[in-house]
Amino acid sequence: MGKILKEALGDVQEAIDIFEFLAGEGRRLYGRTTPSELKNKLAFTIRIPLGVTAIITPWNFPIAIPAWKISAALITGNTIIFKPSSDTPLCAYALINILEQAGLPKGVINIVTGSGNETGSAIVKHPRIKGISFTGSVETGSWIRQNSGLKKISLELGGKNPIIVMDDADLDLAVEGIIWGAFGTAGQRCTAASRIIVHKKVYSSLLKKLLAKTKQLKIGNGLLPSTDIGPLVNKSAQEKSAHYTQIGLQEGAKLLCGGKIPKGKGFFFPPTIFTNVAPEMRIAQEEIFGPILSIIKAKNINDAIKIANSTQYGLSSSVYTKNMQYAFKAINEIEAGITYINSSTIGAEVHLPFGGVKSTGHGREAGWAGIEEFSEEKTIYIDYSNKLQKAQGID
């Protein structure tokens, strides 16, 4: 999919880490034991598998995201129908080959390739599939909710993630996080930082530092160690970024750098920064999934949080500040599944839950939450009183 080499290695390492972590969770499929309300009666819970589960994954993390889902589904005892993105099917094939070489019985995981309209639709509607885990667009996620019946579903549907930079922030640290969050993977992450909300006192200073660093980024072949930004996944993605650049200009935003498809081969698009962006502009509201960054000015922490919450999404968020009052206010009030303090919007760790709120979807992946998504909690009662005990209060 064009990811640069160091990010591709990180993609693979994340898969290694999640399999290692969830293998250990197989010894911790904990239930709860609690006293019964009646004498000589035991009450506890266990976790049981869903059965046949479906995993539908995107192209931007073609190893890590399938690994997040597959590892949790396997360790809780499910079998899997796995539909990878049509843009990256060979990565999926390589991953399943590795699992089979490691001893996974054939038939436990079954790859099914094809379009979402045909293959995806058949999977979602199939009566024997009991659970679905999907990562992709809001539109497709909404369709799955409407057509999956009573299946257990987990949806991760993208974001419009903000980084708030307060007037007391370390600007050099903030710029480093912005560059990584906005332009890593060419902006093709659901956790990409696509909105920078800057306190008015440091607005100009931050822009100067950010522009200087952005102009140093090298675009090119992802296999070359010197490359910072590789190509977008396909021509459609490239054209979408160009289209949103025109939308931004039409809305009155100021183009600070980038914005044009470069000449030559490859689906490249340069890092693009807009200033003079109003929170209601489309470039500040809609997920672009390209290296396009909107800079928005804020009056204070309350204004910054209000702007951060002004989109339909709620996946990741970040605040750069040395003021703990600002930090905890943001933690409590930003509408997002993830909040970072003095770090970028990307970098989720495999032993912690991942997911968002609002139109970002529902459910969580990774950590203990992955266990909960791919299993059900069953309540068990064992009565050893040797008589029929009715519920408390019944004579």
Taking residues 55-78, report their average pLDDT.
Answer: 97
What is the tens place of the pLDDT at every residue in 144-176?
999 999 999 999 998 999 999 999 999 999 999
Which residues of 200-305 form beta strands (DSSP E)?
254-257, 272-275, 292-298
Tokens 């667009």 correspond to 137
315 closest CA partner among 293, 338, 285: 338
Q: Over pLDDT 90: what percentage of the chain?
A: 95
- State the Cα–Cα distance between residues 195 and 164, nearest whole angstrom: 9
Taking residues 261-286, report their average pLDDT.
Answer: 96
What is the tens place of the pLDDT at every residue in 223-268?
999 999 999 999 999 999 999 999 999 999 999 999 999 999 999 9
- State the Cα–Cα distance between residues 223 and 7, nearest whole angstrom: 10
Q: How many CA atoms are closer than 13 Å to the CA of 246, on its beta-carbon side?
A: 6
Residue 382 neighbours by CB under 8 Å, 6+ apart? 41, 42
- Kindly tell me if the per-residue pLDDT of 351 is higher than 80: yes
- State the Cα–Cα distance between residues 89 and 62, nearest whole angstrom: 8
Q: What pLDDT is stored for residue 16 in this prediction? A: 97
Residue 274 neighbours by CB under 8 Å, 6+ apart? 248, 253, 254, 255, 256, 283, 292, 293, 294, 295
What is the tens place of the pLDDT at every residue in 110-136?
999 998 889 999 999 999 999 999 999
- Kindly tell me if the per-residue pLDDT of 209 is higher than 80: yes
> What global pTM score does this model have?
0.94
Both tokens of residue 84? 């990878």
The answer to whether the Cα torsion of 37, 43, 47, 51 is positive or negative is negative
What is the per-residue DSSP string for 69-85?
HHHHHHHTT-EEEEE--
- State the Cα–Cα distance between residues 290 and 86, nearest whole angstrom: 19
- Buried/exposed code over 349-367 (b: 16+ C-beta within 10 A; e: otherwise): ebeebbbbebbbbbbbbbb
Q: What pLDDT is stored for residue 392 in this prediction? A: 77
Q: What pLDDT is stored for residue 355 in this prediction? A: 96
Q: What pLDDT is stored for residue 34 in this prediction? A: 96
Instruction: State the angle between helix axes of 64-75 and 5-25 in degrees (0 to 180), rounded to the nearest 10.
Output: 10
Q: What pLDDT is stored for residue 47 in this prediction? A: 96
91 closest CA partner among 62, 69, 114, 115: 62
What is the tens place of the pLDDT at every residue in 12-55?
999 999 999 999 999 989 999 999 999 999 999 999 999 999 99
Lowest mean pLDDT among 164-173, 304-313, 364-373: 364-373
Both tokens of residue 307? 């702007």
Domains in the chain: ranges and CATH: 5-158+354-382 (3.40.605.10), 161-341 (3.40.309.10)
Both tokens of residue 232? 């977008």
Tokens 């399938």 correspond to 66
The mean predicted confidence, pLDDT, of the chain is 96
- Kindly tell me if the per-residue pLDDT of 393 is higher than 80: no
Q: What pLDDT is stored for residue 282 in this prediction? A: 97
Q: What pLDDT is stored for residue 391 in this prediction? A: 83
Contact 173, 218 (CB under 8 A): no
- Kindly tell me if the per-residue pLDDT of 183 is higher than 80: yes
What is the per-residue DSSP string for 126-167?
-TTEEEEEEES-HHHHHHHHHHSTT-EEEEE----EEEEE-T
Q: What is the CA radius of gyration of the chain?
A: 23
Phi, psi of 198 (to 5 degrees): -115, 135
Tokens 């309350």 correspond to 302
Active-site residue set: 156, 190
- State the Cα–Cα distance between residues 136 and 158, nearest whole angstrom: 7
Contact 303, 277 (CB under 8 A): no
What is the tens place of the pLDDT at every residue in 311-340?
999 999 999 999 999 999 999 999 999 999
